[in-house]
Amino acid sequence: MAHFSLTQLIAQEVNTTGGWLPFDRFMHLALYAPGLGYYAHDSAKFGVLPQSGSDFVTAPELSPLFGRALAVQVAQSLWSTGTDTVWEFGAGSGALAEQLINALDAQGTALSRYTIVDVSGALRARQQQRLAHFGDRVQWADRLPDALRGVVVGNEVLDAMPVKLLARSKGEWFERGVKTSERFGLLAQSAQAHEAINHEAKNRVEAVFEWSDRPTPLRPPIDVPGAHDVVTEIHPQQTAFISTLAQALGRGGTGAAFLIDYGFPEAEYWLPERTQGTLVCHQAHRMDDNPLVSVGDKDITAHVDFTGVALAAQNAGLDVLGYTSQGRFLINCGMAQMMEAADLPMRANAMKLLAEHEMGELFKVIGLATPGHAPALGFAAGDRTHRL
């Protein structure tokens, strides 16, 4: 299985970098190492039930009404920006792309091209199979272009971007990284160590990797009140992605982006009582807080700092169209009316996308655009931009 070799790869990199690896690098390898990381191999990831072999469900898999409602906002933004192209980042199973294209076609919205940017070759293969009937209208790109025109969508993309971990202990800040345990510290120097680490990975023994803290000048963007011990995340890769996306939209002349994910504004993200941060893992529809075991066999995520997203976008020249809960956004886009015409099972699943105790409040939506975009339908009521 993939995690044997992945564990070796990470352990060797720990050794070659002096015995300590920043957590964001560990997370990148665990998720995206070619052919080995969680998103780079063929395991089932998206599904409603664990019996399918999946690890978690995303909104498009839960209900096709998600894509239909989002398409209302996408259609308005295509009209407002005068464009006919949609870009999706991290398209997962391809379910959202299929829903959006079908809904835009049904609305009569002109869509000349739908481009997917996904770093996972395994997921790209699934997407290509699922979306083949759309022909050349659906294309794939390996990277963001320097200039981009059109409407960008991203569902649960930001949460999968590697984060740095910071730990405050006895009033001092440290960057939390990963080391190999003493038993495996000489991994690269013996075949016996390779054999031993394979055994440890196979049997899920928590002895290969350990946490290790180093002093750092890094800090959260706001002071965490109190002097108590804290572990939290900061998001340099998320900020860099938003800045790059904003610059590409600016060079393209016109465009908009709608990003949907779980997260908070900074005042909620760094509440003093959130002492263990937001980092979690997903496997077989269960959550745990230890990314150092079952490496490559489970997802690793952290909540999004939406204030950081907004500031990065504004600093690069974009306007914030709005920020609200997923439930409010979908209602603004007409999901309630869509549910009236749906059967009972579809209505029940759609309610999970709206209900505050399900996904409706945990997930948020932020809209960004080049100057001149019309007021966005998805934020017509319940906009929380003032909380960012």
- Range 150-179 average pLDDT: 97
Residues 6+ apart with CB under 8 A from 132: none
User: Cα(273)–Cα(250) distance, rounded to whole angstroms?
Assistant: 39
Residue 183: inside a domain: no
- What is the value of pTM for the model shown? 0.92
pLDDT category, 3, cuts 50, 70, 90? very low
What's the CATH number where 65 sits?
3.40.50.12710
**How many other CB atoms are found less than 10 A from the CB of residue 382?**
15
The answer to whether position 15 is within a domain reads no
The segment with the largest mean pLDDT, out of 114-128, 172-186, 224-238, 282-296, is 224-238
Amino acid letter at 176? R
Report which of 258, 235, 234 is spatially closest to residue 245, judged by C-alpha positions: 258
CA atoms within 13 A on the CB side of 342: 19
Would you say residue 54 lies in a domain? yes
Distances in Å between the Cα of 183 and the Cα atoms of 194, 195, 207 are 12, 13, 8
Q: How far apart are CA 98 and CA 70, in angstroms?
A: 12
* Amino acid in the structure at residue 320: V
In a domain, 211, yes or no: no
- Residue type for 191, please? A
pLDDT tens by residue, 38-65: 988 877 565 565 656 566 678 999 999 9
289 CB burial (10 A radius; 0-12, 13-18, 19+):
exposed
Q: Are 306 and 263 in contact (CB under 8 A)?
A: yes
* Inside any domain, residue 13: no
Query: Which of these, 324, 290, 308, lies nearest to 238 by C-alpha position?
Result: 308
Note whether residue 173 is domain-resident: no
Q: Residue range 303-326: average pLDDT?
A: 98
Which tokens is 185 given?
Answer: 């510290």
Instruction: Report which of 157, 180, 173, 129 is spatially closest to residue 238, judged by C-alpha positions.
Output: 157
Burial (0-12, 13-18, 19+ Cβ within 10 Å), 146: exposed
Q: Which of 185, 176, 175, 177 is nearest to 208 (CA)?
A: 185
**What 8-state DSSP symbol labels residue 157?**
-
Return the CA Rg of the chain: 21
From CA 169, how far away is CA 177, in angstroms rounded?
15
* Distance, CA of 38 to CA of 301 (rounded, Å): 12
Q: 100: buried, middle or exposed (CB in 10 Å: 19+, 13-18, 0-12)?
A: buried
Residue 151 and residue 85 in contact, taking contact as beta carbons nearer than 8 Å: yes
Task: Give yes or no for residue 157 having a pLDDT over 50.
Answer: yes
C-alpha 388: how far from chain center: 19
Confidence of residue 188 (pLDDT cuts 50, 70, 90): very low
Any domain includes 8:
no
Top-ranked range on mean pLDDT: pick from 140-149, 174-183, 254-263? 254-263
Structural domain including 107 reads 48-163+238-387
Q: Where are the alpha helices (DSSP H) in 111-187?
A: 121-130
Distance of CA 141 to the CA centre of its chain: 18
Percent helix, percent strand, percent coil in the chain, to nearest 5: 45, 20, 35
Single-letter amino acid code for the residue at 236: P
Query: Using CB atoms within 10 A of its CB, is residue 245 exposed (0-12), middle (13-18) or buried (19+)?
Result: buried
| Dihedral pair phi/psi, residue 312, rounded to 5° | -60, -40
Angle at 117 between CA 113 and CA 121, to 5 degrees: 120
Cα separation of 111 and 233, whole Å? Answer: 39
Strand partners, 369: 256, 319
Query: Considering its fold, how many domains does the chain have in total?
Result: 1
pLDDT digits (tens, 9 = 90+) for 191-247: 455 555 555 555 554 468 999 999 999 999 999 988 899 999 999 999 999 999 999
Q: Which pair of tokens denotes residue 93?
A: 């199973």
The answer on pLDDT for 8 being more than 80 is: yes
